[in-house]
Amino acid sequence: MALRIDLVSLFPDFFASPLASGLIGKALARGIATVEVTNPRDFTTDKHHKVDDEPYGGGVGMVMKPEPIFAAVESLPVLPKRQVILLTPQGQPMTQPLLQTLATYDQLVMICGHYEGVDERVLDLVTQEVSLGDFVLTCGEIPALALLNGVIRLLPGTVGKTDSLKYESFEAGLLDYPHYTRPPEFRGMAVPAVLRSGDHGAIAAWRQQQQIQRTRQRRPDLYEQWRQQGGEVGLSAGE
Ligand SMILES: C[S@@+](CC[C@H](N)C(=O)[O-])C[C@H]1O[C@@H](n2cnc3c(N)ncnc32)[C@H](O)[C@@H]1O
């Protein structure tokens, strides 16, 4: 069954270009996943189509009303393995393992917040809260697109060679190794000789060592986790 993604958003036009471009556009055209956008504004019952209101207790900003969001989510089909995700800075951080888990679902419903966020009672609909990181954006559409992109990328057929998924950052608990292409020398910066040696064993060893070294330097937290999970034990001979 192709993954179905339902975006619940006040700004459906936001998604037009990202969903039509690049590998995601191709994956959707091939039916690897489907994406539908549902606008809570279409489910309002008052004549002004009001989707937000002032916060109880006072304070700045507006809050997204619960009724249009409930009605929008409840209008959607329910597939067997389904997650209803609220994008919020207060959620679980978006990581590669989380994307890998979500890529096994039949349906992901993503609720995009605005203003001060959604009425707390919307959490009654939600099975998972996800954050793009420790910062605050104006809207949930950008994190929803990031999540959608990262999940569809993992579905079989989206990325040409499945091997190119295996060697990316975070897949083996380490950052990726450095990449080079032609020309062999650019502004005095030469491509490392080993990469031009044709010695596949030496190239693999160099790349692995680069992965370890740059993870240790840039992300000591990841490096420690990798080591504790026995990363070094799994290294090939010669490392
Ligand atoms: C201005 S933010 C609301 C922030 C909220 N008052 C808070 O401080 O936690 C508006 C909306 O943008 C989205 N958003 C902003 N930053 C985000 C992040 N880091 N991760 C996920 N969603 C985010 C959420 O959907 C949120 O409801």
| CB 73, CB 42: distance < 8 Å | no
Please name the fold of domain 3-154. Answer: Alpha/beta knot (3.40.1280)
**Ligand 1 within 6 A of 117 CB?**
yes
CATH of 167-234, one of 3.40.50.300, 1.10.1270.20, 1.20.810.10, 2.30.110.10: 1.10.1270.20
Residue ranges, CATH 3.40.1280.10, the chain: 3-154
Q: What is the pLDDT along the chain (239 residues), one digit of tens a residue?
A: 999 999 999 999 999 999 999 999 999 999 999 999 999 999 999 999 999 999 999 999 999 999 999 999 999 999 999 999 999 999 999 999 999 999 999 999 999 999 999 999 999 999 999 999 999 999 999 999 999 999 999 999 999 875 577 778 888 899 999 999 999 999 999 999 999 999 999 999 999 999 999 999 999 999 999 999 998 776 654 43
Ligand 1 center from residue 138 Cα (angstroms): 7
Ligand 1 center from residue 137 Cα (angstroms): 6
User: Nearest Cα to 86, choosing from 39, 131, 129, 115?
Assistant: 129
For 146, list phi and psi in degrees, rounded to 5.
Answer: -60, -45
Helix (H) or strand (E) holding 224: helix 220-228
| β pairing state of 52-53 and 82-93 | unpaired
Give the integer Cα–Cα distance in Å for 1 and 3: 6
Give the integer Cα–Cα distance in Å for 62 and 48: 16
